[in-house]
Amino acid sequence: MEMGKKMRSAIAIINPKNNQPLSLSNGSLQDEEGNVFPVISGIPRIAQFNNYTSSFGMQWNKFDKIQLDRETDGYNMSRQRFFAETHWNAQDLTEKNVLEVGSGAGRFSKVVLESTSATLYSIDYSDAVTANFKNNSSIAANRFPLFQASIYEMPFPDDSFDKVFCLGVLQHTPNFDASVKALIRKAKPGGEIVVDFYPINGWWTKIHAKYILRPITKRLSHKRLMQMIESNINWLMKSEQILHRLGLGMLARFLPIVDIQGTLPKYLSETEKREWAVLDTFDMFSPEYDNPQRIRDVAAMFKRHGADVTFAGFEHYDGFAAAVVRGIKQS
């Protein structure tokens, strides 16, 4: 160890129901009361397998690499988004303990592990953690503790992390305000918290095929919904393209397909574009919860739960804009 270099302290792993330390025994995590959490495919499972996020487990294990940055062709949208939204750089994260909540297949896990020396504690409530482990555990296994756990029952003590981020997740939780509170609780006093979310842009936000059809689609089996999307995606993509060519792009919001023009990267191959369209259309219609928010309301949640807001607005990257709130936990 270099003289004068401050080493990070490991974060304790606890049973979130009783705050007792968990230790590895016979291939499982256990506490002193005998409560046992299995380790499956290398990942401690603090959550029940059957929960409201099962659709995400399906989609991220099916499309496990589609949103990962690639060295082969310079695709780095995840890296651009992460650093634009957090306003952190590699030096900011040097020797830091960072918490990622809602990792999916690990697009941002990969960015943090490859671009910084941080120890990344990462959770997801769904079995998407299996895809994340497969994608990223070989990068830096000694600084990548990964868990299947709920945002409301994280296996870490309060006041633990230097940085906390939660991207693309909060709108899919059952209680947005309680989710923000849970994130802030895990940050150290003086620690930074960053979230993004689906914004409410006006009264027309929910006048959209997604919100019109979701009461039906979220009740379909995930397998059936995926089959329906894959069977119809080609004509839906062509229909959206025609509407935009005719100058009728606003009508595309009534097609049951993701906004290809507004949300997909421009440099995808046709095969990649189709896969991404299937993924994002499934992501539109399958989640149990989809709760967009006003930026000012999320900023108010930060303040209510003990964080000073340092930014509340839209951050731009690679031609896209994201609703972001950043804050610092009060001492």
**Buried b / exposed e along 222-242 (16+ C-beta atoms within 10 A):** beebbebbeeebeebbeebee
More confident residue, 72 or 52: 52
Place of tokens 């990068």: 139
- 23-199+292-329: what fold? Rossmann fold (3.40.50)
Q: What element of type H or E holds 266?
A: none
Q: What's the pLDDT at 1?
A: 30
Q: What's the pLDDT at 227?
A: 98
What would the pLDDT profile of 100-143 be if each residue is shown by its tens digit? Answer: 999 999 999 999 999 999 999 999 999 999 999 999 999 998 99
Q: What element of type H or E holds 297?
A: helix 295-304
Q: Give the domain ranges of the chain.
A: 23-199+292-329, 209-285
Burial class (CB within 10 angstroms; exposed 0-12, middle 13-18, buried 19+) of 123: buried
Residue 315 has pLDDT above 60, yes or no: yes
What would the pLDDT profile of 223-276 be if each residue is shown by its tens digit? Answer: 999 999 999 999 999 999 999 999 999 999 999 999 998 888 888 889 999 999
CA distances from 35 to 25, 26, 41, 116, 147 (A): 11, 13, 20, 35, 17
| CB distance 305 to 72 below 8 Å | no
Nearest to 54 by CA among 286, 278, 256: 286
State which amino acid sits at residue 282.
F
Strand, helix or coil for residue 39: strand
